Structure 1
């Protein structure tokens, strides 16, 4: 699953203890969405990303006047 999700080696090695959580989906009537052809559950994976988008703003140093 980690290959499919695009995990890097460092991300897989640093998974937190509470890495897995599930989200339940219901329709407007409060019944599981899977009964109407949708998805009833999805798996959420919590991880620490190694590579994230870099800030495009230049670093600014405040100087005393």
Structure 2
């Protein structure tokens, strides 16, 4: 199953925060977040998207001071 519209929006936001286009962001960080290289959103499954988004969220919490 391909990414849903919410996941696509999240990937666009993540790439924008890194000042990258989506494809460059995916290519650079896919190995880190899902263990395989991906070049475009069309190559990501919904499950891979969920894994990536969850890991990115957990990583973002490392910078939060409580």
| TM-score range relative to shorter protein | under 0.3
Q: TM-score, normalised by structure 2?
A: 0.25
What is the TM-score normalised by the length of structure 1? Answer: 0.25
Pick the structure with greater CA Rg.
1
Structure with more strand by fraction = 1
